[in-house]
Amino acid sequence: MARQRRQRLTLVHKANVLKITDGMFLEECRKVAAEFADVTVDDFIVDAMMAHVVRNPERFDVIVTTNMFGDILSDLTAELSGSLGLGGSLNVGAQHAMGQAAHGSAPDIAGRNIANPLSQVLSAAMLLAWFAQRSGNSAYLQAAQAIEAAVEQSLAAQESTRDVGGQLGTREAGQALIRRILA
- Residue 75, pLDDT score: 84
- Residue 1, pLDDT score: 80
Q: What is the pLDDT of residues 126-152, one digit of tens each?
A: 999 999 999 999 999 999 999 999 999
Give the three-class secondary structure for 49.
Answer: helix
- Residue 67, pLDDT score: 87
Residue ranges for the chain with pLDDT beneath 50? none
- Residue 11, pLDDT score: 98
Q: Which helix H or strand E contains 12, and what residues bound it?
A: strand 8-13
- Residue 138, pLDDT score: 95
Q: What is the pTM of this model?
A: 0.77
- Residue 123, pLDDT score: 93
Please state, in angstroms and rounded to a whole number, the distance separating the CA atoms of residues 67 and 91: 8
Domain locations in the chain? Answer: 1-81, 112-183
Which positions ≥6 away from 58 have C-beta within 8 Å?
A: none
Please state, in angstroms and rounded to a whole number, the distance separating the CA atoms of residues 41 and 24: 17
- Residue 81, pLDDT score: 84
- Residue 93, pLDDT score: 85
Please state, in angstroms and rounded to a whole number, the distance separating the CA atoms of residues 51 and 120: 26
**C-alpha of 174 from chain center:** 19
